[in-house]
Amino acid sequence: MENSENFISNGKYNYRYLRLEALVNAMIPRTPDLAQLYGTNMYYGALDFLTAEYLTMVLNYIKANILETMNWEERLSSSLIRFTMLGYYSEWFGYGTTRLNNPNQRILEFYPLSWEQVDYPGPAFSYISYEKEYNQINKEILNEF
């Protein structure tokens, strides 16, 4: 699959790409107000984390899947919203220079800044220290009812 199609070989700023940029920007915009309230990292949005590239890549997959006779553009409007959020809040931007490679050839180079925005620490081996048993909760928390 040519993931780099449409924004490298055809030039990054073609019409389709601009449309996707407009979409992701509306979904997850830059937010200077939030940056003032909560810190600089809250400024950045989908344009900064190249979510339109992600959408282009996913669309190339969907296009290859859906045969020409199917009216795919119309069917995709809601999937695009879901994919925008998956692209933005998942690890994808952290693949850095390998982000447009075939999925087997990507390497996580850093944690995406979107994880900082939601305070997600990334995968951990264990959270065993949080464990409680229901009976314990029942005693500590619920016995008042």
Where does this chain bind another protein (CB under 8 A)?
Answer: 1, 26-29, 31, 33-34, 38, 42, 45, 58, 61-62, 64-67, 69-70, 74-75, 77-79, 81-92, 102-104, 106, 108, 114-115, 117-120, 123-128, 130-134, 136-138, 140-142, 145
Nearest to 106 by CA among 95, 117, 114: 95
Looking at beta carbons only, is 47 or 81 nearer to another protein? Answer: 81
Backbone angles phi, psi at 29, to 5 degrees: -80, 170
Looking at beta carbons only, is 11 or 142 nearer to another protein? Answer: 142
**Cα-to-chain-centroid distance, residue 133:** 34
Token pair belonging to 47: 């344009």
Minimum CB separation from another protein for residue 20, in Å? 15
Cα torsion 130, 134, 137, 141 to 10°: value is: 130
56 by Cβ neighbours in 10 Å (0-12 / 13-18 / 19+) ranks as buried
Looking at beta carbons only, is 13 or 97 nearer to another protein? Answer: 97
Minimum CB separation from another protein for residue 17, in Å? 18
Looking at beta carbons only, is 13 or 142 nearer to another protein? Answer: 142
Minimum CB separation from another protein for residue 64, in Å? 4
Minimum CB separation from another protein for residue 22, in Å? 13
Neighbours of 5 (CB within 10 A): 15
